[in-house]
Structure formats: structure tokens, C-alpha cells
Structure 1
Amino acid sequence: MRTTPPNSPTPSGRRLRLGRIGSALLGTATLVLAGLGTAAHASAATPATAKATPSSKVTWAATPCATPKHKGDLACNSLRVTGGLTAFQKHQAQADGITPKAADASTPSGYGPSDLQDAYGLTDAAASNGSGRTIAIVDAYDDPNAAADLAKYRSYYGLPSCTTSNGCFKKVSQTGSTTSLPTADSGWAEEESLDLDMASAVCPQCNILLVEAKSASMANLGTAVNEAVKLGAKFVSNSYGGGESSSDTSYDSSYFNHPGVAITVSAGDEGYGAEYPAASKYVTAVGGTALSTSSTSRGWTEKVWNTSSTEGTGSGCSAYDAKPSWQTDTGCSKRAIADTSAVADPATGVSVYDSYGVTAGWYTFGGTSASSPIIAGVYALAGTPGSSDYPSEYIYNAAGTSALNDVTSGSNGTCSAGASYLCTAKSGYDGPTGWGTPEGTDAFTG
């Protein structure tokens, strides 16, 4: 249960993210997967002997960084699959007639780079665009195995090498130091692996800068955002959030007002309700979908990610941030969340390689922590933003065109009848998915 209404701050100025956390403590979430379509988008399945069963369940739990260490800290927006067959595995079984083992860390069990590129019309762009552009990933605490795990992911999927030695990958603290790094943390290490792998999957030619804040406070994470921009990143992904507060407008000007930089932020994993910094008018707020193969001409279908009343993509109306000029929806007088979206449902999750604090191996992750770096990667494929631009506006300029996949089904909670679009998908703009998901890069360039 939420301890406060979706848009209300705690007395300390930050709403604690207890909805999903409490659910994780009581037990992992479960979801019965429906049968998937017949389009083939994946590589060979893991050898096995039994046929797939449509009723196979997926279970997952919030990663440890979803529980803030200190009062007022922000939480990561990621969930890790712990059992059952994912959508990827079920599709493999349907395509190949064999069932991979569930919850087996020896092989990938979620969508890989080719799946994501195909689903979002990025295959050609990913092969040729992004060289010389830097995506920054901002997270808290240190992942000592970040470089090695990234190398494992990229090698497995045949992506170009991205290492410290070849200049593609760089890890720094919030002050820019490569040697004086924060304390290591296994929960945030999982988050960092997810973010690095998703940026790689979508923009394999891009350089990657990992900026590690010394804690998950807004002040330290915001300082890390500023450092990322100072070091030249034009694309900055942030997979964390918390409740809004009256201080958010000052955080806007201190940390997120960077014209000419595409800053993406996860919309949250607790269902309907606004989070910060997704509520900042200077960022691109990224919602989450469930992504499945289908027999349509696109080959994929999406709906709003929603598991329960306390788990699903975030959306809503900010209590404090002013509405940017390019947002024209009438049910919210202030900033509406989200702007765009991408896959986030753990049952239709993405493959990630991680080795710090867990058994080294392959895991499937979900949460809007996956969708934020995916969209940062799309911006990077699209090109460097104009020096005075706030790139979220690009999406609104492309509204209603074939450059976006309009998501029209699903909801993430209950909202007022006069503004039902803030929690329910519909044709055109809606809160949970924004203007839709990418179909190529045209909606992400000026």
C-alpha cells in the first residue's frame, strides 16, 4: 500500500517507495502469460526436451536497490525474474518445439539486442549510427564488475568491443575520478548492469560513460548528472526515482536544466502516481510496456505494463513542476508523465549479464529501469540534439506519425474521470505510454 497519495510528499519531502517494496517482502509477483504470436524474432533456444506450456508462470522480485538505504534516498526502478518462463523463452519454445530451463543463469532468457532493435525499428540505425556519441548512465554506488560484465554481454551478442582500453567505456565517480570510486553495492550493481546492457543493445556503436554517485540522495545523483554533462555526454539515462517534493523545482534548475542534452528518466514501477525526477519539465519521462511477438506486420504488440495496484509503469500529473510549452493535454495543469515508453514488464523482460553480489550469469530484468536507457539509446542513434533544445519536445513534434507505435490498451491504476488518459492507454497521448514507443529514430531528432 502507498503510505501517501501518489502526488503527496512525506514530511521529510520524499515519499518512501513502499508499494512495490512491501510486495517484494511479502513474496514475488506472479503473472500467467498468455500465448504469444508466431512471428520469429529470436535466436536458437536452449536445448531441452519438454514442450512449452502456455500456463508457465513468471516470478520476480524488486532488486535490493529498490529499498532506499537512508530516509529520503531515491530508489532504482528494476525487477529481476526469479523463476518461470519469460515471453522470450515461450516464444523460443513455440518456434523450436523445445522448452528452455526456467531461472537458469547459464544462458540468456530475455530479449536481446536484435529483438529490441527489431521491435523498435532500429536495426539499420543500430548498425551504422552512434559512432563517437556518448551515452551516460547515472546510478548510485560502485559496481566493481561493471566493465567485465559489460564485456561479457557484448561478446555474447556479437556487439563491438567496448572497453576502457579502447576508449569506449569509462567509469567515474560523481566528481569525475576514475580511482576514488563510491562504496560497492550489489543491488545497485544489478541496476548498473541492466542500464549498461540496454544502452549497448540499442546503440552498439556508442561510447558509454558510467557515472557513480556516492549515495542515492538527490544531491549526489544530481551532481552525477551534472558531471556526465560536463564530461561531454549528450544522452544521459537515469533509472531511479521517488516521491515529489516542493524542492523539485530547485532540483530542476540545479541538476536537470541542460539544453542540448537528452536526459531520460524512468517513470517508476509502482503504478499510477507521479515520481521525481521523471516529473522534471527538462527531461524525457519514460513509461513502460509489455512487449510480445505477434503476427501483425510489425511483428510485435505492446500494452501498458501493469501487474497489480502497486506494480506497473508510473504516470500522472506533477504536483509541482510546470507544464512545458509543448505539452498540451488538458486534464493536467502541470507537467504530465510520461512522454514516451519502451518495454518494462519483467514477464516480457530483457537479458542482462551480472556477476556482483549474485551468482554470475544471465538474468532477465524488467521495470522502467530498462525503458530509460533504451530510449537514451534511441536518442543517441537519432543524432546530437540542437544546442538550445529540450529533446522531449521532439516526441511531441512527431505525435501521431508513423515514427511512433501508438499503445492503445491497458491501464496502470485509477485516476479521475476527467483525466482518465493519465492512467489508461488510448489513441494518441496517454500517461502510461506517452505518445508511444519508437518506430525508428525520426521521433527523437530535431
Structure 2
Amino acid sequence: MHQKRTLRFGRRSAGTASALVSLLALVTGGLLAATPSTAAQQPAASGPHVKQLCAKPATPGSMHCLALARTDVKQHLGISADAAPSGLGPTDLQSAYKLSASAGSGATVAIVDAQDDPNAESDLATYRKTYGLPECTTANGCFKKVDQNGGTSYPTADSGWAGEISLDVDMVSAVCPQCHILLVEAKSANMDDLGTAVNRAVTMGAKYVSNSYGGGEDASDLTADSKYFNHPGVAITVSSGDSGYGVEYPAASQYVTAVGGTSLKRDSSSRGWSESVWGTSSGGDGAGSGCSANDPKPSWQKDTGCSKRAVADVSAVADPATGLAVYDSYQASGWNVYGGTSASSPIIASVYALAGTPAAGTTPASYPYAHTGSLNDVTSGANGSCSPAYLCTAGSGYDGPTGLGTPNGTAAFTG
């Protein structure tokens, strides 16, 4: 009779454990077949094996979370050697983006989402224990959850947003294991409530604030810009969207770092990884990009085909087909593989945290434009068809879907 063995990862064995996790993940998730060439056989992000965790908003001013879940990956609860998580883990991201797991001590990354995840802290503990990361709890001061007013009157729980919250806090843990995490839960997915939660995060001292949601642009965006996102000295990141070419708000805000998405795969290059635009030239899915209808162009953007604010600024992995391991047990089955630009936003917020406190009075969205040589330039792929073509097609230098590129260390995210 087969007997399950519990897999316990301590700090000293984290590297070995992660390697084991990565191998087992491929096997258990059905991503590894008889030959090593099966990465190309993973389902497309737009295929039947992906679902949105949150419904798209039906009214102006409403937002939806941008997390996508793979439905073709075996899910399971807990930690066991014969059912290790699928998807990319902390050491994968640290390797791909040349990040130090020891930096960021004492920095607080805030996650702003709507509704409540009752299992946020316990699920975070499972994720971190699995990968040998330091504990991050309310008791040790590393984790804190508040409502949009800074209290503990949490909003109504929601399974879709709970999955988003799990993705967000796990990505902060993966990229900046030494960071503190502040989860601010808005009482609804209305922009005013989410914006109030952004202001609360800044009031509580967070210098890095991730927002993994979006909605359509409208005439009220400029008002929301000044009310919620104009926080000099604070790095505010926002997902660019998951529907391919097209602009969403608040990624279009002139004050935020709009984060696009890539497909990230291991290869035999000196870097050990390759990236392309998440999306296809036929459009309809993939990282959002384009030219804002309302927001003015910030002074640091120099592209000439868009007179207003161009999206995105930088990017990170977002394709569910090359997705991230996430643990979510609230009306979900534990280990999942998630993607969407909901993943890339907290990744980039955490890279800012690794880079150090932003200079007072500055807008950190401008930093990458002063350090373009310190990014991985993504030059292949598209998220639709458009004119001018750079707003939807990757190329050398700036492009819409991936911005200036992905992190190559932290130099591009310093003031």
C-alpha cells in the first residue's frame, strides 16, 4: 500500500526543496511528458483550460480582479511529496529576474484588493512553509490585514477576490521573502472604495502598493488620479489588463507603474530564461496595452505614437501557460497555477521594495525610464494588431505589451 510522505522544507534545504518542487510540479501538473520538449505543448492562455476568477465589471467605475486560473492542473490541499505544487516558485522568479532573497528587510508591500479572504493568513503560511520561506504572521509583525478604514471590520468574503488575494500575497513572498505584507481590503470593487484602500495603505506607511484590478476608462479617471494615486515617494503598481490590446484604468494613471505581462520559459541561453509578449497577434487575450484616451503623458515617456499616456511601463511573467504556483483554500482546492497581469503587478511592486525606499517627492514610475539598460528587453510577440504597431507588438526598446522590459536585478527600480 502506498503511503504518503509529508514534505517539510527548512531554510537550509530551501534550494534543494525548490528544485524537487519544480520537478514534481511538472510531473503532477501534467506539464511533463516523455520528452523534454513539452513546454511548447502547454495550452494557450485563451484556451478552455483557463478561467477568470472575477467577472468583468458591468458599470462604469467598477473594477474586476485580473487573476486567471488554470483548470487543467491537478489541485490539492496541503504539502506532500507526491503532490507538489505546479507552476513557477520563488527560486524560479529570483533566477529569471536576478533578485536577491535576502534584500528588502523591513520594507512593507501593500496589497489592495476588494472583498475579504478569510483564509489569507493561513494560506500564506502554507505557501511560505512549502518553499522554506520565513514565517510571515500577524503574531510576528510580518503580516497585517485591515479594512479600507484601517480596522478589522472586514468586507464580505468572495471566492474570486480571495484567489486574487492569494496570488498577490504569494508573489510578494516569492520575490521579497524578507518584506512585510499589508493587505488592505476594500468593501467593494468600486474605484472609490479601492482608491480609499490605496490611500489607507499609504497612510499606514507602505512605500510599495500593488493593485491587481482594472476597468474601462471614463471621464472620472483624472479625478481618481489626483484623489488616489498621486503619492510622491510611493511606488504604486497596477496590472495592465488581461484582454490583449486595449487600455484599462487605473493602469492608465499618469502616477502609477503600469505592469504588462510576458510568457517566461527556461532555455539554454546565458540568462537561462526567455520571454515574449503574453498574447497573440489575433488579440482578445494577453497583457493590456495601448494609448490612453484621457490621461496625459508623463514627462518621462518619450514614445511618439501616443500623445497621451502609453501603457505599459515594465512587465513580468503573466501568461497562465507559464504560470505561478499559488495556494488558495477559500472555496478552492489549495494549490493552483495562476496567471494574468494580476501576477506581474505584485512582482514588480516587490522588486521596487528590493531596490530600496523611493526618494521623497519623486514618482517611482519614472525610474525605469532612466535605467533602460538594466532591464531585459522583450522583443518578440504581440497582443493584437494596431497602429502604430509598437503599441501592440514587441520590438527593441519600448513597446506597449511589455513596456521597457522585465527586471534584470533591481537597478532599474531605483531613484
Once residues 135 and 247 of structure 1 are traced to their aligned partners in structure 2, the CA distance between those partners, rounded to angstroms, is 27
Equivalent in the alignment of 1:14: none
Q: Is the 8 A contact 1:83 1:103 kept in 2?
A: no
Equivalent in the alignment of 1:261: 234
1:231 aligns with 2:204: yes
Q: Secondary structure at the match of 1:394?
A: helix
Equivalent in the alignment of 1:210: 183
Equivalent in the alignment of 2:339: 366
Task: After TM superposition, list the pairs within 5 Å mapping 1:7-406 onto structure 2.
Answer: 42-44=19-21, 45-46=23-24, 51-52=34-35, 54=38, 56-58=41-43, 59-68=48-57, 72-83=61-72, 102=74, 106-122=83-99, 125-127=100-102, 129-178=103-152, 180-307=153-280, 309-359=283-333, 361-399=334-372, 401=373, 403-406=374-377
Q: Which runs of 5+ in 2 are unaligned?
A: 1-17, 78-82
Q: Secondary structure at the match of 1:65?
A: coil
Q: Secondary structure at the match of 2:202?
A: helix
List per-residue Cα deviations over 1:45-89 (Å, max 9, x = no partner). 2267962573754353333323348664201111101115xxxxx
Q: Is the 8 A contact 2:75 2:335 kept in 1?
A: no
Once residues 42 and 120 of structure 1 are traced to their aligned partners in structure 2, the CA distance between those partners, rounded to angstroms, is 17
How many residues align structurally? 380
Q: Is the 8 A contact 2:351 2:413 kept in 1?
A: yes
Once residues 170 and 187 of structure 2 are traced to their aligned partners in structure 1, the CA distance between those partners, rounded to angstroms, is 22
Once residues 279 and 70 of structure 1 are traced to their aligned partners in structure 2, the CA distance between those partners, rounded to angstroms, is 18
How high is the TM-score relative to the length of structure 2?
0.88
Q: Is the 8 A contact 1:81 1:103 kept in 2?
A: no
Q: Is the 8 A contact 1:63 1:190 kept in 2?
A: no
List per-residue Cα deviations over 1:133-175 (Å, max 9, x = no partner). 1000000000000000001000100111100000000000000
Q: Is the 8 A contact 1:60 1:79 kept in 2?
A: no
Q: Is the 8 A contact 1:60 1:346 kept in 2?
A: no
Does the C-alpha gap of structure 1 residues 104 and 407 become closer, same or farther in structure 2, counting only changes over 3 Å? same
List per-residue Cα deviations over 1:162-205 (Å, max 9, x = no partner). 00000000000000002x11001011000000000001100000
Once residues 76 and 312 of structure 2 are traced to their aligned partners in structure 1, the CA distance between those partners, rounded to angstroms, is 34
Let me know the Cα RMSD of the aligned residues.
1.7
List per-residue Cα deviations over 1:358-380 (Å, max 9, x = no partner). 12x21000100000000000000
Percent identity among equivalent residues?
66
Does the C-alpha gap of structure 1 residues 57 and 301 become closer, same or farther in structure 2, counting only changes over 3 Å? closer
Equivalent in the alignment of 1:23: none
How high is the TM-score relative to the length of structure 1?
0.82
Q: Is the 8 A contact 1:259 1:388 kept in 2?
A: yes
Q: Which runs of 5+ in 1 are unaligned?
A: 1-40, 85-101
Once residues 219 and 112 of structure 2 are traced to their aligned partners in structure 1, the CA distance between those partners, rounded to angstroms, is 23
1:427 aligns with 2:409: no
Q: Is the 8 A contact 2:53 2:164 kept in 1?
A: no
Q: Secondary structure at the match of 2:106?
A: coil
Q: Secondary structure at the match of 1:126?
A: coil
Once residues 133 and 329 of structure 2 are traced to their aligned partners in structure 1, the CA distance between those partners, rounded to angstroms, is 19
| One-letter amino acid matched to 1:147 | E
Once residues 269 and 239 of structure 2 are traced to their aligned partners in structure 1, the CA distance between those partners, rounded to angstroms, is 28
| One-letter amino acid matched to 2:390 | Y
